[in-house]
Structure formats: structure tokens, C-alpha cells
Amino acid sequence: MAFVGKLAPLVRRMSAAASASQVPAKRKVAVLGAAGGIGQPLAMLMKLNPAVAELSLYDIAATPGVAADVSHVNTPAQVQGYVGEEQLGDALSGCDVVIIPAGVPRKPGMTRDDLFKINAGIVKNLCEAISKHCPEVIERNSPDLFVDIMTARSHDLFPLEATPKAELPQDVLDALTKRTQDGGTEVVQAKAGKGSATLSMAYAGAIFADACLKGLNGMEDVVQCTYVQSSITELPYFASKVTLGPKGVEEVHPLGKLSDYEKAGLEAMKAELHDSIEKGVKFVSGQ
């Protein structure tokens, strides 16, 4: 079987890591929401990762079937499926990395606010279970959001420090920025109400989880972009490059030199980002 497209680089990197002189420490990884549209391909990608010794798949339904399916992927990682809240503790026990693709997909006509109210509650409950059953994952302050390029927000985002944008014509720059911001909406509309962005999200999650595993295993210069507590702007949380290590986020890198276009875009979205952060903080604190 030939691996094509964007999956090929990931598989090659995983294979190279497996054959390197320093064999990576084997880790237990959980995917919470493993039966969903993102969770299933993400589970398969994590089964391919040579640093994964145990793969714990959890969802509220159908997980045993997904686990049975993924277990036939011919790699050494052992797979176990868990279903329902009563088995969540067993799914999390002993985990080194926990990935949460759980939640409801965005549907046409659904606002980001609607989506937040539903999914924030799901993620909050799962994080409370993580703090109870594998607290070391929380203590390492592992990043909670992967972004493919440096952004100022996970949605309605603005790309910073991507390809040398200063050299691009303004119309190309505007088109690239708009497509970045509307990426999720583009997929929802293209699927005509039958789903949202799932495969690309699974790939992004697998890349970031792989970086976390490399950091935990002590590999040097593991740098990815993620949304974390930060002091690089006046906002308490921001998405930027971070160095990952055994303790999680070990360094938050400052922004590089921004073009005037980037500076203007960043300033224009700070108010909205501030409001989003405030809403999230209030939700977690129960206000």
C-alpha cells in the first residue's frame, strides 16, 4: 500500500523515529471522543505512531467497534475501547497524553457561540476526569489547542509569520487570509450539512500529539504552534510557537517581526479575542 498526500510525511517521520538510534519511550495515549468524525481517523493515526504502546479509545457509544477496527492496523500499539461515563476512569488511568476531539460538530446556521455552549461543557467534564485519573497530564500544562500556522485565535483567526507574505501581492494576501479564516465554514458548506472539518483536524491533532510525545521523551528542539497562557501580548492567552519538553510547554516564543498588514490584522481582532478569553474564563469558574 502506498501512502499519498499529506499522510505520507507523517508516516515517514514516524517510521524514521522508530528506526532512530534512540528508541522512543513507549507511552499510553487516550483519545476521548474516539468514535466521532475526528476521533476515528485520529485514533488510526495514533496507532501508527511508534511512540505509542497503549492506545485507549473512549466515547459515549460505539467505541468497542472502533477499537476492534483500529486494532487491525498492523503496528505494535495495543488498543482498548471504553464506552460510557462509568468506564472513563479506566480509559484515563496511566495515560501520558490525552487528546480530546469529543464534541458535537458545527452545523449550518450554528454560531460559534452555540457551539461553545455545548462543547465547552463536554470538554470541562473530561478535563475534570483527567485531573482525577491521570493528574500528571494536567500538571505538565500540556497545550490544549493545535494550530497549523501561527494564529491569534483558533477561529476567526489571522495568520502571522507564515510564508513571506510581504512579498505577495495584496489581492493574494487578502485571499489567503480569508481562506484561512473561513476554512471551517468552507468544509461545512461543501459537505452540505453532512459534517464538518474532520480529516484535516485529525491530521493536525496527530501532528501535535506526536510533538508532545517527542517532547515528553526528551527530544530537543520540538517546536509547534499552540494556544496557551502567554505574556507575549497584553492578552492572557495567545497562539504562538512553543518549545515542548518533558514538562509540557517549556518556552513560549515571542512573535517575530510582523508586517504592517499583520500588525493591523492583529490589532483589529484583539477586542474579539479578549471577549472570547473572558467568556472561557467565566465558564470555567462557573460565573
Q: Residues 226, 146: contact at Cβ < 8 Å?
A: yes
* DSSP for 51-101, written as a single string: TEEEEEEEESSSHHHHHHHHHTSSSS-EEEEEESGGGHHHHHTT-SEEE--
The pairing of strands 52-59 and 27-32 is parallel
* DSSP for 179-198, written as a single string: HHHTHHHHHHHHTTTS--S-
CA torsion, ordered 65, 138, 145, 29, to nearest 10 deg: -30
CA 124 to chain CA centroid, Å, is 16
- Residue among 218, 227, 271, 274 nearest 252 (CA): 227
Q: Which residues are annotated as a binding site?
A: 33-39, 59, 119, 201
**Active-site residue, selected from the candidate residues 72, 155, 253, 274:** 155
Q: Which residues are annotated as a binding site for NAD(+)?
A: 33-39, 59, 119, 201
CA torsion, ordered 35, 41, 44, 49, to nearest 10 deg: -130
Amino acid (one-letter) located at 205: G
- Catalytic annotation present for 274: no
Residues labelled catalytic: 155
